Structure 1
Amino acid sequence: MRKQRLKLSTLVIIVVCIVVLFSLLITGILISNTIKDTIHKTTEEKAEVIGKTVARSGVVQSALVDNDGSKKVQEYASDIQRSTDVSFIVVMDMNGVRKSHPNEDLIGKHFKGGDEKDALSGHVSSSISKGTLGKSLRSFTPVYSDGKQVGVVAVGVPMKSVSDALADGNKQIVIGSIIGLFVGAIGAYLLSRYIKRILLGLEPSHIAKILGERNTMLQSVHEGIVAVDKEGKINLVNKSAMDIFKKAGLKDNPIGMQINDYMASTQLPKVVELGKPERDKEQNINGLKILVNRVPLIVKDETVGAISTFRDKTEVNKLSEQLVGVKTYADTLRAQSHEFSNRLHVISGMLQMEHYDDLKQYIHEIVELGSQESGDITSKIKDAVLAGFLIGKLSLAREQNIKLSIMNHTTIPEPNYSYITHEMITIIGNLIDNSIDSLVTSSVKKKTIDVHLKYENEQLMIDVIDSGLILENELDDQIFEKGVSSKGENRGYGLHLVQQSVEKLKGNIKIDSNEASNVQFSVVINYPKKEEDKC
């Protein structure tokens, strides 16, 4: 069974209370020792002052010199004792014989304790010792008369008084410690709530789990991911991003580096500054092209950084080619299926009417037309993807009752790079689709589209001419802008993509519209052929 962990709030309260308790305990011990030393020192000083006062008294000095007057000394000592609240004041001669004592029966007898010897030798001393009045703190002061020591004054303070004073001090320490512990517990509770609020109510174990899951997800994502903070410092790079960076020749471990120092072509600092996302942008890293999305990281309406997701554009192009191929194949099958169904209806009708000669001629024309169209395209166009694409477009055009003619004036070789095929499909496909859309809504009776292909000096010339209506003059300068179309809203993307693909292939495009040729798009692009096809 898994051991249940303490909650963060409980853990914080326990730790803070232990720290406060330990601190108060150490402080209490230190203060208690200080108080004890202070009380002892104060008591000693008090007894010493009383002893010096008594030792300087003329009554005491005369009685000790004359070895008489014990009664006067006893009265004097008793008065001082009552006024100073000490345990005893004993005056003794140089033989240790008492001249005064709280118990008058002990006057004339020797002082007991043995700690008076230093004082009899002329030194001020103190000690803790047990005598006839119990355990006490004693102070001994020599008595001098005319420069000669004549006796000693002993002043005693009962240890009970010292212990009581120390106990009172410790009591105050304990009260202060309890109050401190209570305040510490309240502070720990408030601190735990504050930390919990910062952590969005999550426990440390949950945070660790979420962080682990997030890291695993980031590392398993196929797209490269890079995140920077507000200052443009890299703080996150996943495995896919590192693979792309290595492919581009960038060094390892960019964490902590400035993004501009690591990758000069980045636009992440701009995204952080403007707080606006950039989507589907192309970026060149040491010759490696990637397709990038950049998004600002906004927390509580403040931009705290930016994150970039990207993929190698070569992979994107391959995927796009696959998707285009599948779509073309599906469109071709659909168009041919529809076309075949219509022809079956015609054949069925002729059979029912028993027009066998006409039926024979009709089937012959169908076979000849299919063979001529596909044969001319496959024999002249060496790129199988492009050839299949154009055959599919022929069927789609016939489905719309539009005559599409593909005229290859020269043999079109296979391109040296696969991405050229992708861009070619974008260019020719969108130009044909644009013409089909124009003719479908057009009122002209003869609906034709002529596509002319010619290859010379590693350049491919493409002319697409349709019999649709001429372009409106106000659209001539804007026809390639994104979203601009004469067909209404949410249109105008095809020709924009055509222009982008032409620019990528370092070519040019122009458009001509007049009464004689209607609408003609002329494209010239660089088209290096495959190495094995070169002479």
Structure 2
Amino acid sequence: MVAITSRSRSLAGQLLVLQLAIIVVVLVAVAAVSLAQSAATFNRVEGRRVAALGEQLAGNPLLRDRLTRPAPRETIAPLVQNALTQAGVTSVTVADGRGRVVSSTNPTLVGSPVVLGDPRVAQGRSWSGELETNGSRELVAQVPVLGAREENLGRQLGVVVIGEASPTWSERLVGASSYLFTYLGIASALGVIGSWLLTRRIKRQTLGLEPREIAGLAEHREALLHGIAEGVIALDPQQRVTLINVVGRRLLDLPEHCLGRSLAELRISGRLRDVLAGAGSGPEARDQVVVRGGRVLVMNRMTVDKAGRRLGSVTTLRDRTELARLEQEIGSFRSTTELLRAQTHEFANQLHTISGLIQIGEHDEVVRYVDALSRHRASLDLTVTSRIHDTAVAALLMAKSAVAAERRVELRISERTGLGRLAPDVAADIATVLGNLVDNAVEAVAGGRDGSPGTTANTTGDAWVEVELRQDASSVEIVVRDSGPGVAPELAQEVFTHGFTTKAAEGGERGIGLALTRLVCTRRGGEIAVTNTGEGAMFTARMSVPHEREEAR
């Protein structure tokens, strides 16, 4: 029942109880310190007073004279009573030189040995301090009585003991209770007011949620973040990481303790930093392609605002690497379809030409036309197969040649081309890189011939794409040149990171073909780069293929 009550208590009630408890503890501590200081003050002030009274009584000539006579009790009692009345102390006691009490305000002590606080008092030294006598504790001053006459000069005649009863703790507390209760009431009122103001402030900062509701939200958030398959990362306005789930940390290759650290501290730069920070993309960024740690990531960023105040941003990440590879496989089927469609179109045109020649009776011209087509096809086949011995790569170039011809682009094979047979996995990677580069080059050249906005192609010459493949003992180099508009210098270093094609010259983003191309080259221990020639762009890709040539043989 107690646990249920404590859980159901509101935040204001918890703060009030806590502050009142703190106030009570502080007041008790202050009271204890005050009482301790009061005791120290009493001992200091009253100690000086009883010491002075003892010295005054011990220096009384009448007391000295009567201590040297027989039966001093009757003669000293008036002096003791007079000192008690005038000084207002608790007790006055006089002992003779043998240490026996001869007179005291407490008659029960007469005749008994005097209790000394310090043995040196019997040797003529004064002493003051607390001493317990007859069950009560007193602040006592013990002063020796020294002879002043010639016959007893300097001899100790006795001891004067002046006592002042020390007040108990309860008496001191009762004496201070009037202002302690006042302080407690004032402190309680201030605690209630302060608790109410603090509660209002905390309520505003926590959007009116109680602690158990905040804890529930935190638990739900953790379950949600770690239960989704996508990566999530949140940044504050200073670009510090405020939230990230396990998937996001894995995709971005961040350390385990990255919360609270800025993008600069995490060494995130380039395209990834621009997307996360929203540089140049406005409050929202949709389907931004970024390459990070060998992965193709698709990122969506949204800025978070509250009441016109920027709170930061949240970015989701999806790993599209496998999807990109599947897209390339689908692209190969699409290329085959395009090849068949282009060949169908080409064959249809040739048949129409042959049919027209027959209809007008030019039979000899039909023979010459068919011979020319046969020689052209044989020449192309011979050019490709004589220089490229790997059937997969050769077939790819034959297909790309037909597609390029349909778009009025000439696909050339460089005279320096030479490629032997390759292992199947190596041939597949080379076909992926070569196919992407040729597609981008044909797209760029065809766009320039069509007069697309923003292109600067040389329209006075023919549209062409040239492929050069070179192979040595440990690597394969692919060079694709074109007569297109080229790549803008500012994009030359970022074109692969952004996932642009050569259409980037027109300002448009075209998927992840070049990003995947770079991944394949990197995985094969190579690299890819782009430069502008006098006539267009030149992409150079290099991949390491150790010992695979020999295995293929």
Instruction: Give me the TM-score of the superposition, normalised by structure 1.
Output: 0.52
Percent of aligned pairs sharing the same letter: 19
Per-residue deviation, 1:174: 6.0
Q: 1:57 to 1:385 in 2, by over 3 A?
A: farther
Q: 1:69 to 1:233 in 2, by over 3 A?
A: closer
Per-residue deviation, 1:55: 0.7
Q: Which deviations, in whole Å up to 9, do the C-alpha atoms of 1:86-126 show, x marking residues without a partner?
A: 234344433567776669xx69x934574269555645456
1:143 to 117, 139, 145: 145
Q: 1:46 to 1:224 in 2, by over 3 A?
A: same
Q: Which deviations, in whole Å up to 9, do the C-alpha atoms of 1:404-430 show, x marking residues without a partner?
A: xxxxx999xxx99xxxxxxxxxxx9xx
Cα distance in 1 between the residues matched to 2:507 and 2:205: 51
Aligned to 1:14: 17
Q: Does residue 197 in structure 1 map to residue 208 in structure 2?
A: no
Per-residue deviation, 1:161: 8.9
Q: 1:314 to 1:66 in 2, by over 3 A?
A: closer
Q: 1:148 to 1:180 in 2, by over 3 A?
A: farther
Which segment drifts farther, 179-188 or 194-203? 179-188
Which segment drifts farther, 116-125 or 137-146? 116-125
Cα distance in 1 between the residues matched to 2:275 and 2:257: 16
Amino acid at match of 1:63: R
Q: Secondary structure at the match of 2:56?
A: helix
Q: Does residue 218 in structure 1 map to residue 225 in structure 2?
A: yes
Per-residue deviation, 1:175: 5.3
Q: Does residue 128 in structure 1 map to residue 132 in structure 2?
A: yes
Extract unaligned runs of 5+ from structure 2.
Answer: 148-152, 345-375, 381-391, 394-403, 413-434, 456-502, 515-536, 540-553
Cα distance in 2 between the residues matched to 1:505 and 1:120: 110
Q: 1:499 to 1:174 in 2, by over 3 A?
A: closer
Q: Does residue 276 in structure 1 map to residue 262 in structure 2?
A: no
Which segment drifts farther, 275-284 or 142-151? 275-284
Per-residue deviation, 1:50: 0.6
Where do 1:29-68 residues align within 5 Å? 29-40=32-43, 42-66=45-69
Q: 1:455 to 1:292 in 2, by over 3 A?
A: farther
Q: 1:188 to 1:92 in 2, by over 3 A?
A: same
1:500 to 497, 501, 508: 508
Aligned to 2:115: 115
Cα distance in 2 between the residues matched to 1:381 and 1:71: 136
Q: Does residue 259 in structure 1 map to residue 267 in structure 2?
A: no
Per-residue deviation, 1:143: 0.7
Cα distance in 2 between the residues matched to 1:381 and 1:63: 136
Q: Which deviations, in whole Å up to 9, do the C-alpha atoms of 1:464-517 show, x marking residues without a partner?
A: 99xxxxx9x9x9769xxxxxxxxxxxxxxxx999973779779xxxxxxxxxxx
Q: Does residue 207 in structure 1 map to residue 214 in structure 2?
A: yes
Q: 1:153 to 1:283 in 2, by over 3 A?
A: same
Cα distance in 1 between the residues matched to 2:258 and 2:63: 90
Q: Which deviations, in whole Å up to 9, do the C-alpha atoms of 1:321-341 show, x marking residues without a partner?
A: 9xx99xxxxxxxxxxxxxxxx
Aligned to 1:399: none
Q: Secondary structure at the match of 1:51?
A: helix
Per-residue deviation, 1:191: 3.3
Per-residue deviation, 1:315: 7.0
Size of the aligned set, in residue pairs, is 375
Q: Does residue 85 in structure 1 map to residue 92 in structure 2?
A: no
Aligned to 1:405: none
Cα distance in 1 between the residues matched to 2:113 and 2:278: 88
Aligned to 1:25: 28
Aligned to 2:164: 157
Q: Which deviations, in whole Å up to 9, do the C-alpha atoms of 1:301-337 show, x marking residues without a partner?
A: 454533322334567779999xx99xxxxxxxxxxxx
Q: 1:25 to 1:135 in 2, by over 3 A?
A: closer
Per-residue deviation, 1:51: 0.9
Per-residue deviation, 1:85: 1.2
Per-residue deviation, 1:35: 3.0
Aligned to 2:429: none
Which segment drifts farther, 70-79 or 138-147? 70-79
Instruction: Give yes or no for contact 1:275–1:303 (8 Å, CA) kept in 2.
Output: no
Per-residue deviation, 1:141: 1.9
Amino acid at match of 1:264: S
Q: Which deviations, in whole Å up to 9, do the C-alpha atoms of 1:355-378 show, x marking residues without a partner?
A: xxxxxxxxxxxxxxxxxxxxxxxx
Instruction: Give yes or no for contact 1:234–1:255 (8 Å, CA) kept in 2.
Output: yes
Cα distance in 2 between the residues matched to 1:235 and 1:163: 57
Cα distance in 2 between the residues matched to 1:292 and 1:234: 16
Instruction: Give yes or no for contact 1:91–1:98 (8 Å, CA) kept in 2.
Output: yes
Instruction: Give yes or no for contact 1:48–1:155 (8 Å, CA) kept in 2.
Output: yes
Per-residue deviation, 1:158: 4.4
Cα distance in 2 between the residues matched to 1:152 and 1:300: 86
Q: 1:172 to 1:207 in 2, by over 3 A?
A: same
Which segment drifts farther, 143-152 or 68-77? 68-77
Cα distance in 2 between the residues matched to 1:162 and 1:267: 70
Where do 1:399-410 residues align within 5 Å? none
Instruction: Give yes or no for contact 1:138–1:154 (8 Å, CA) kept in 2.
Output: yes
Q: 1:315 to 1:212 in 2, by over 3 A?
A: farther
Instruction: Give me the TM-score of the superposition, normalised by structure 2.
Output: 0.51
Aligned to 1:485: none
Q: Which deviations, in whole Å up to 9, do the C-alpha atoms of 1:132-165 show, x marking residues without a partner?
A: xx88654332111121112222323345699745
Instruction: Give yes or no for contact 1:96–1:111 (8 Å, CA) kept in 2.
Output: no
Instruction: Give yes or no for contact 1:271–1:296 (8 Å, CA) kept in 2.
Output: no
Cα distance in 1 between the residues matched to 2:257 and 2:72: 101
Q: Secondary structure at the match of 2:201?
A: helix
Cα distance in 1 between the residues matched to 2:231 and 2:505: 25
Amino acid at match of 1:195: I
Amino acid at match of 2:142: F
Q: Secondary structure at the match of 2:508?
A: helix
Extract unaligned runs of 5+ from structure 1.
Answer: 326-379, 392-408, 417-427, 429-450, 466-470, 479-494, 507-523, 527-535
Per-residue deviation, 1:381: 8.2
Cα distance in 2 between the residues matched to 1:502 and 1:181: 70
Cα distance in 2 between the residues matched to 1:223 and 1:288: 14
